[in-house]
Amino acid sequence: MGDKVACLGVSEVGAGSDVSSITTKAVRKGDEYVINGGKMWTTNGTQADWMCLLANTSDGPPHRNKSLICLPMNLPGVHIARKIDKLGMWSSDTAEVFFDDVHVPCKNVIGQEGMGFTYQMLQFQEERLWAVANILTTMDIIIQETIQYTRQRKIFKQPVLYHQAVHFRLAELQTEVELLRSLLHRATALYIKGNDVTKLASMAKLKGGRLARELSDSCLQYWGGMGFTNDVLVSRFYRDSRLMSIGAGADEVMLGIICKYMDTLPKK
């Protein structure tokens, strides 16, 4: 209904893609958790009504000592430290948040205590598939706008588009977009049927981030000086799409996950 704004509290200053390394603690005292720590890169953090917080609720193994907790953001001890000034994604507020003896009822735990890491990893499958679906449409639009612009913009007495290097490159990029779309559709279909698609979702996220960078850079080049202004969509996409290879698991983490499923990682 849009009555409440939510945010996700997972990443920290020293723990981004390595979720198991978070240090925020929720210590049980009676029928409450007392929470201390902080979160970084919190989307909607400056305006959220509540946070889905991942915190350590015991001193056990790092993959089994975490819980997801519904934390109202108006509680005493919740401090919005700052709104982060980002390279891109300017329409989205991103905050650093601190917790100083924040008291939350134990009933606010989501699911089972100690299962938070597992829940979060499962959620990442959906988030990574969504990230690819979200960026595909924009890549289609960028290619089409670039075709339209280069068709009417002339250089050396002919449209920029008519130069073979340009229309061949756009054909390559559109082919890559369609291949990514097929991977996304396959992974989503398997996920809907209840399969573990961690490997395919990681592959799609990896390819999506890299293709977004490649496509935005190539298309921006064909806009010439206009591409270096804030007046056109391609320049915004050039800024915003860079997050795809960082947020929700960096490219290198995706590669590690894929290697794990391929059984090619060095044995410990």
Measured in whole angstroms, the distance separating CA 138 from the mean position of its chain's CA atoms is 16
Strand 78-83 versus strand 94-105 pairing type: antiparallel
Whole-structure pTM value: 0.92
pLDDT digits (tens, 9 = 90+) for 18-76: 899 999 999 999 999 999 999 999 999 999 999 999 999 999 999 999 999 999 999 99
Q: Which domains does the chain have, with CATH numbers?
A: 6-113 (2.40.110.10), 118-261 (1.20.140.10)
Q: How far is CA 4 from CA 44, 49, 51, 129, in A?
A: 11, 6, 11, 25
Q: Is 258 exposed, middle or buried (0-12, 13-18, 19+ CB in 10 A)?
A: middle
Q: Is 127 a catalytic residue?
A: yes
Say which of 32, 127, 145, 176 is annotated catalytic.
127
pLDDT digits (tens, 9 = 90+) for 95-151: 999 999 999 999 999 999 999 999 998 888 999 999 999 999 999 999 999 999 999
- For the range 189-197, what are the long-range contacts, defined as Cβ-Cβ under 8 Å and sequence gap of 24 or more? 191/125, 191/126, 191/129, 196/125, 197/125, 197/129
Quote the pLDDT of residue 267.
87
Q: Is the pLDDT of residue 2 over 90?
A: no
Which residue, 171, 181, 146, is CA-closest to 160? 146
* Amino acid making up residue 97: V
pLDDT digits (tens, 9 = 90+) for 234-243: 999 999 999 9
161: tokens are 């588009």
Average pLDDT of the residues in 201-230: 98
Q: Is the pLDDT of residue 16 over 90?
A: no
Quote the pLDDT of residue 17.
82
